[in-house]
Structure 1
């Protein structure tokens, strides 16, 4: 199990919890295992973070102000059917559990949450992601991207990517076949506005490495990646 958990070091997680004491406690644990931890205080904030960052896994509290965990999950499932979602709650309300079934959740964790509970869930997440090809995505015939080693494999040969190229590709893969705005790309890669040619040249280099026309430019708006 410990060897498997090392995979999490290459993944990001979004944790939404309105109780600040619980939020701080669980966040400290998550930061031990994950590459990056995004924290939200309610469902609306969680949706905003999800849409503006590359997120691999979500842990959402059921009872939150503005937008609860169930409603947040429903919105996310409209654009991403497979991303692992875990719901936490202090209650064992059967109706809530029944509602959550349709959302294809990984787990429903009852509070208080122990470190041991999280470790077990992490192992389940890794197995789920592996079985659903979320650790490696098929871009085209004989062309794959690995979320673990951050490389593209083409005809069984590895293609190395730069750090910025990895961020760009994973942003597009977070919502495949949909527009990712230039503002979001610039924020995640360059931490702010950048010269148009800098972004355009990076995309050109990626396309050349892929030797495949699956990254599309939406003029003046951003980019999308086509995944069948």
Structure 2
């Protein structure tokens, strides 16, 4: 899962990068609100952490702009302010939660996981869908997990979007343009290599035999298909 961290304090920013990278997250960092919005458009992360007080553009303004681009991506505010009015304002602007600095490593990891699960459950409810099968894989959107027997596989929100789209289009080829539009966003055009790399990594986790895939099959020169 890719996380964007926007924090003007270099020490805090790099500490968060290190901690989250060690947990297996892919981390993109920005030092102010303007850069955060630019990086969001360019990289389309699965989760956003926004410091409130940043130079150039504060976290509130960055949040509003990100919400215009994507109204579902989870957003967590990081703030040194504890006043209730700040928390209320942040949530009214579309943030999913907030944390007051200083905070512990375990606390922010737990909060990120909780928000991600909560937004996944909300999205699954919106889609009217609890779970679906892809070959022998049971995908549970509300948990951001897939199950093969008793083994569970963690999914990012983007992983889930890829699997859901392939499941909905079962038997049909889903080309790269459609994946870019529906999974990454209509104003984001990832390079073919970047998209293929994401699919390759997802395939390693969800396929019983990635060398002979049954869930995400490549249709050369066209895209991907789930039979």
Fold shared per TM-score above 0.5: yes
Distance (Å, rounded) in 1 between the aligned partners of 2:178 and 2:35 = 23
Equivalent residue number for residue 225 of structure 2: 209
Write the distance in 1 (CA, Å) between the matches of 2:180 and 2:20: 21
Pairing partner for 2:183 from 173, 181, 198:
173
The within-5 A match list for 1:58-97 is 58-97=48-87
- Following TM superposition, the consecutive aligned residue runs of length 4 or more in structure 1 with deviations greater than 6 angstroms are 142-146, 155-161
Aligned twin of 1:147 = 159
Which region of structure 1 is more displaced relative to structure 2, 146-155 or 66-75? 146-155
Cα deviations by residue, 1:166-224 (Å, 9 ceiling, x for unpaired)? x983675232xx3334xx53684599xxxxxxxxxx89612x7379xxxxxxxxxxxxx
Given that 2:33 and 2:56 are in contact with CA atoms closer than 8 Å, whether structure 1 keeps it comes out as: yes
Note the 1:114-125 alignment, pairs <5 A.
Answer: 114-125=104-115
Aligned-residue offset at 1:27: 1.2
Which region of structure 1 is more displaced relative to structure 2, 33-42 or 125-134?
125-134
Preserved contact between residue 84 and residue 105 of structure 1 (Cα < 8 Å): yes
Number of aligned residues: 180
CA distance in 1, matches of 2:168, 2:196: 31
Listed one character per residue, the Cα deviations across residues 25-57 of structure 1 (whole Å, up to 9, x for unaligned) are 111111122441000000111111110113100
**RMSD across aligned positions (CA):** 4.1
Per the TM alignment, residue 73 of structure 1 is displaced from its structure 2 partner at its CA by 0.3
Within the candidate set 92, 96, 114, 1:106 is matched to 96
- Compute the TM-score of the two structures, normalised by the length of structure 1: 0.63
Distance in 2 between residues matched to 1:160 and 1:36, nearest whole Å: 29
Unpaired runs of 5+ in structure 2?
140-156, 198-218
Contact 1:85 1:106 (8 Å CA) reproduced: yes
